[in-house]
């Protein structure tokens, strides 16, 4: 009988253990509130750029013991749970002490909740009394079995209430003290220990006197426990009372919003916190001078790594259309693409900065570009044409290169280009801003001028080198050097030439631009270390008469460079293959004067033409039995010829030396032929059912 009785007790014990384990497995501690944390975007130094509210509208910034002043952790344990590091979630000694004190006084004067039990209550709010305490005790045992003391403390430090929608010690410290809790004053520690006792009744922003008194009591308690000296207590008590709540950090808000949408979790960036703060203060000052609803965007990139060091998507986030990220808004680039037309021309034509080129009234088909000043300069050097941003020379060079060729090279480098209205394919006006792109993409390609013509994607967040796409060579090292050398000698913005501007130990190659109707003012600058882009305009794209890149964006560009750290890098030497020529006569004869496309074509080739389908024709759709489709035929030009339909390359197979295209259905289409030299010819047709 004794043997059977012992077996029954053993079986009962095993059954009880199994039941407890099963219940623990079936009903784990609910972590939903803890996991619903504020998404936080950080600067490179670990400081917060911008936190976001949790899904239940709390400032719940994740915190670990490593994020908090050790003196705060020690004070918290002294006041809340002296044996936190030793018990299993429930402290029997504290339970006996509380029971004795409460019975002796005939009322509740002391509690026995451990930090782990309080953590259980924070994870699963609701309910009071004995049943709630029992549930918290059971949950505390579960937490201790599943998690380390550090992990439990992290949950508490993240969820502890501090008044209003502030949860967690980091959110409280940021809001009440405007700093992270890594280094806290004794008076600040005392306030943070006191607030969770009654967070609404003690809110410093609503009841500063109560909060102050609660803080003083914690200081007295720490003194009584011999945790601080009398002198430290006296000094802490003399500190001013906290009586208001500050806004959460709010730097680079457009970038933070973008990264939150992409990641949905805490994310680090390459942002230089000091440069970002300086940039935002500068932008706020500049915005006051506009007075016409203008806004601005600024992007700063480190050339060597392509890391984005400062990002301003707009100067007034809460203003009209303020949440539009103007760094990524598609705008007309004005003349800012011109340097890359010249760069490709240096690579693909016999020209040099000292080559002579004409700036005279010229008709390119039905297109007659004019300069911003409405005047023409006559015969100038290529260097002067780019420095003065003359329009006819840039269009003439693009005419020789071929707009489609220029477009394709930019696309391959990662630049997104947008065409609107009837102009669905690249054309000559893109040299003067007749295409859409973004500040981000412009800065990306300008950074190539400091890297031998290599374009690489901009880096917003830290990542492995292997995760960074390889660079694309947009122009050669020689062409890149020519362009940068020309732009470093561009005329200074008005007001910066007298002892200011570039006479600051920083050599900057810069280009300005203004879009049609004064809608966009641009300035992009490249130093040995940084590339900076500035856009100024209205978010709705409306005109701002009299505001252009040179008089508005360029001065701001120089101020941004002044905010950046001193540069250690110097200008790279010219590539060995660069041709140094002091004047035009020092050039080889073939490079002394630029020959326009019309002259070259007249001398060397028959112009490219679309023979079928002819321009303006109405064409019947091919029948189902016609397996090839419509034959596309051209004449003249240099072979091979490529075909685009409505701006998209025809990928259909060729047969019998012809390219065939099968239309999707009825409607209007634009057929474009492009030869090996970049010449293009276009035919606009209508397709109908047979």
Check whether 428 has a pLDDT greater than 90. yes
Please state, in angstroms and rounded to a whole number, the distance separating the CA atoms of residues 196 and 161.
Answer: 5
pLDDT band at 291; cut points 50, 70, 90: confident
Kindly report the CA angle at 492 between 491 and 493, in degrees rounded to 5?
A: 120
Q: Mind listing the pLDDT tens digit for each residue in 63-111?
A: 999 999 999 999 999 999 999 999 988 877 655 564 444 445 554 444 5
Please state, in angstroms and rounded to a whole number, the distance separating the CA atoms of residues 331 and 282.
Answer: 23
**CB neighbour list of residue 593: distance below 8 Å, 6 or more residues apart:** 355, 356, 357
Q: What is the mean pLDDT of residues 276-286?
A: 96
| Dihedral sign, Cα of residue 84, residue 86, residue 89, residue 92 | negative
Domains and CATH numbers, the chain: 25-45+53-238 (1.10.3810.10), 338-585 (3.40.710.10), 605-688 (2.60.40.10)
Higher pLDDT, 192 or 106: 192
Locate all alpha helices (DSSP H) within 52-114, ordered by sequence.
70-80, 92-105
pLDDT band at 21; cut points 50, 70, 90: low
Both tokens of 212, joined, read 């102050």
Check whether 652 has a pLDDT greater than 80. no
pLDDT given at position 470: 66
Burial level of 324, CB count in 10 A (0-12/13-18/19+)?
middle
Please state, in angstroms and rounded to a whole number, the distance separating the CA atoms of residues 536 and 515.
Answer: 11
Both tokens of 269, joined, read 């960036």
Q: What is the mean pLDDT of residues 184-202?
A: 97
Q: Mind listing the pLDDT tens digit for each residue in 542-596?
A: 999 988 899 999 999 999 999 999 998 888 899 998 999 989 999 999 899 999 8
Please state, in angstroms and rounded to a whole number, the distance separating the CA atoms of residues 444 and 450.
Answer: 11
Contact between 473 and 414 under an 8 Å Cβ cutoff? The reply is no
pLDDT given at position 335: 96
Work out whether strand 667-674 and strand 642-645 pair parallel, antiparallel, or are unpaired.
antiparallel
Q: Mind listing the pLDDT tens digit for each residue in 653-678?
A: 555 557 888 888 888 888 888 887 77
pLDDT given at position 466: 45
Both tokens of 679, joined, read 């010449």
Average pLDDT, the chain: 88
Both tokens of 266, joined, read 């805490």
30: nearest Cα among 165, 130, 138, 112: 138
Both tokens of 588, joined, read 């080889």
In the numeric block, the tokens 């008709």 are attached to 363
pLDDT given at position 109: 41
Phi, psi dihedral angles at 15 (to 5 degrees): -65, -40
In the numeric block, the tokens 């029954």 are attached to 8
Q: What is the mean pLDDT of residues 19-47?
A: 83
Check whether 643 has a pLDDT greater than 90. no
Check whether 332 has a pLDDT greater than 60. yes
Q: Mind listing the pLDDT tens digit for each residue in 156-187?
A: 999 999 999 999 999 999 999 999 999 999 99
Both tokens of 250, joined, read 């709010």
Please state, in angstroms and rounded to a whole number, the distance separating the CA atoms of residues 409 and 475.
Answer: 9
The total of other beta-carbon atoms located within 10 Å of residue 479's CB is: 24
282: nearest Cα among 293, 302, 272, 296: 296
Higher pLDDT, 223 or 99: 223
pLDDT given at position 501: 42
Ranking 136-140, 176-180, 184-188, 647-651 by mean pLDDT, the lowest is 647-651
Predicted TM-score (pTM) of the model is 0.81
Please state, in angstroms and rounded to a whole number, the distance separating the CA atoms of residues 45 and 273.
Answer: 7
**CB neighbour list of residue 235: distance below 8 Å, 6 or more residues apart:** 186
Determine the angle formed by the axes of helices 208-224 and 186-194, rounding to 10 degrees.
110
Higher pLDDT, 355 or 290: 355
pLDDT given at position 591: 93
Q: How far is CA 594 from CA 351, 379, 380, 578, in A?
A: 7, 11, 11, 19
List active site positions. 80, 335
pLDDT band at 8; cut points 50, 70, 90: low
pLDDT given at position 645: 87
Contact between 265 and 259 under an 8 Å Cβ cutoff? The reply is no
Q: What is the mean pLDDT of residues 387-391?
A: 96
Higher pLDDT, 24 or 357: 357
pLDDT band at 447; cut points 50, 70, 90: very high
441: nearest Cα among 508, 525, 533: 533
Element (H, E) at 579: none
Both tokens of 87, joined, read 């018990």
pLDDT band at 413; cut points 50, 70, 90: very high
Q: What is the mean pLDDT of residues 128-143?
A: 85
pLDDT given at position 476: 95
Percent of the chain with pLDDT over 70: 87
Burial level of 129, CB count in 10 A (0-12/13-18/19+)?
exposed
Higher pLDDT, 2 or 616: 616
Please state, in angstroms and rounded to a whole number, the distance separating the CA atoms of residues 47 and 277.
Answer: 12
* DSSP per residue, 192-204: HHHGGGSTTTT-T
Check whether 616 has a pLDDT greater than 80. yes
**CB neighbour list of residue 228: distance below 8 Å, 6 or more residues apart:** 186, 219, 222, 236
pLDDT given at position 371: 86
Check whether 126 has a pLDDT greater than 80. no
pLDDT given at position 153: 98
Kindly report the CA angle at 223 between 221 and 226, in degrees rounded to 5?
A: 115
pLDDT given at position 34: 96
CA 348 to chain centre: 35
Q: Mind listing the pLDDT tens digit for each residue in 244-275?
A: 999 999 999 999 999 999 987 889 999 999 99
Q: What is the mean pLDDT of residues 449-472?
A: 82
Q: What is the mean pLDDT of residues 200-210?
A: 97
Both tokens of 201, joined, read 């009744």
pLDDT given at position 422: 58
């Amino acid at each position: 009988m004794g043997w059977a009785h012992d077996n029954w007790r053993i079986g009962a014990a095993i059954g009880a253990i199994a039941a407890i384990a099963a219940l623990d497995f079936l009903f784990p501690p609910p972590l939903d509130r803890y996991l619903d944390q504020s998404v936080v975007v950080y600067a490179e130094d670990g400081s917060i750029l911008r936190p976001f509210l949790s899904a239940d509208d709390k400032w719940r910034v994740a915190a670990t013991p490593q994020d908090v002043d050790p003196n705060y952790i020690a004070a918290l344990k002294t006041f809340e749970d002296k044996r936190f590091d030793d018990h299993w979630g429930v402290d029997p000694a504290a339970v006996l002490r509380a029971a004795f004190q409460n019975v002796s006084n005939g009322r509740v004067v002391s509690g026995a909740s451990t930090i782990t039990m309080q953590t259980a209550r924070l994870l699963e709010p609701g309910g009071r009394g004995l049943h709630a305490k029992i549930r918290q005790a059971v949950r505390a045992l579960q937490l201790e079995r599943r998690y380390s003391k550090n992990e439990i403390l992290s949950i508490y430090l993240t969820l502890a209430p501090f008044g209003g929608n502030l949860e967690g010690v980091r959110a409280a410290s940021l809001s009440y003290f405007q700093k992270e809790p890594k280094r806290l004053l004794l008076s600040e520690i005392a306030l943070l220990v006191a607030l969770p006792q009654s967070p609404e009744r003690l809110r410093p922003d609503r009841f500063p006197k109560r909060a102050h008194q609660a803080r003083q009591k914690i200081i007295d308690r720490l003194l009584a426990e011999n945790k601080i000296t009398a002198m430290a207590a006296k000094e802490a008590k003399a500190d001013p009372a906290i009586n208001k709540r500050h806004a959460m950090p709010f730097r680079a808000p457009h970038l933070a919003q973008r990264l939150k949408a992409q990641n949905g979790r805490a994310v680090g960036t390459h942002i230089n916190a000091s440069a970002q703060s300086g940039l935002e203060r500068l932008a706020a000052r500049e915005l006051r001078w506009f007075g016409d609803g203008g806004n601005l965007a600024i992007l700063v990139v480190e050339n060597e790594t392509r890391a984005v060091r400062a990002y301003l998507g707009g100067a007034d986030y809460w203003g009209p259309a303020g949440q539009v990220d103007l760094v990524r808004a598609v705008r007309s680039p004005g003349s800012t693409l011109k340097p890359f037309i010249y760069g490709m021309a240096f690579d693909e034509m016999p020209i040099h900065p000292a080559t002579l080129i004409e700036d005279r009234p010229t008709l390119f088909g039905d297109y007659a570009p004019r300069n911003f000043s409405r005047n023409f300069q006559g015969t100038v050097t290529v260097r002067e044409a780019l420095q003065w941003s003359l329009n006819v020379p840039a269009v003439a060079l693009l005419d020789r290169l071929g707009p489609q060729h220029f477009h394709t090279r930019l696309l391959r480098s990662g630049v997104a280009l947008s065409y609107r209205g009837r102009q669905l394919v690249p054309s000559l006006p893109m040299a003067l801003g007749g295409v859409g792109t973004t500040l981000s993409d412009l800065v990306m390609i300008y950074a190539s001028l400091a890297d031998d013509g290599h374009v690489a994607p901009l880096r917003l967040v830290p990542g492995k080198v292997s995760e960074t796409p390889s660079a694309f060579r947009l122009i050669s090292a020689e062409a890149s050097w020519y362009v940068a050398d020309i732009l470093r000698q561009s005329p200074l913005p008005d007001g910066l030439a007298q002892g200011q501007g570039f006479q600051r130990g920083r050599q900057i190659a810069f280009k300005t631009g203004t879009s049609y109707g004064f809608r966009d003012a641009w300035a992009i600058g490249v130093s040995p270390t940084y590339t900076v882009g500035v856009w100024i305009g209205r978010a709705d794209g409306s005109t701002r008469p009299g505001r252009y890149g040179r008089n508005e964006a360029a001065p701001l560009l120089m101020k941004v460079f002044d905010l950046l750290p001193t540069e250690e890098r110097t200008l790279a030497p010219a590539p060995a293959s660069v041709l140094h020529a002091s004047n035009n006569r020092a050039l080889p004869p073939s490079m002394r004067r630029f020959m326009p496309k019309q002259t070259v074509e007249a001398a060397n080739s028959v112009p490219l033409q679309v023979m079928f389908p002819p321009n303006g024709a109405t064409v019947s759709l091919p029948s189902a039995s016609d397996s090839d489709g419509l034959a596309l035929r051209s004449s003249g030009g240099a072979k091979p010829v490529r075909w685009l339909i409505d701006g998209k390359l025809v990928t259909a197979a060729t047969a019998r030396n012809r390219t065939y295209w099968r239309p999707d259905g009825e409607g209007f289409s634009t057929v474009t032929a492009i030869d090996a030299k970049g010449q293009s010819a276009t035919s606009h047709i209508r397709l109908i059912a047979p």
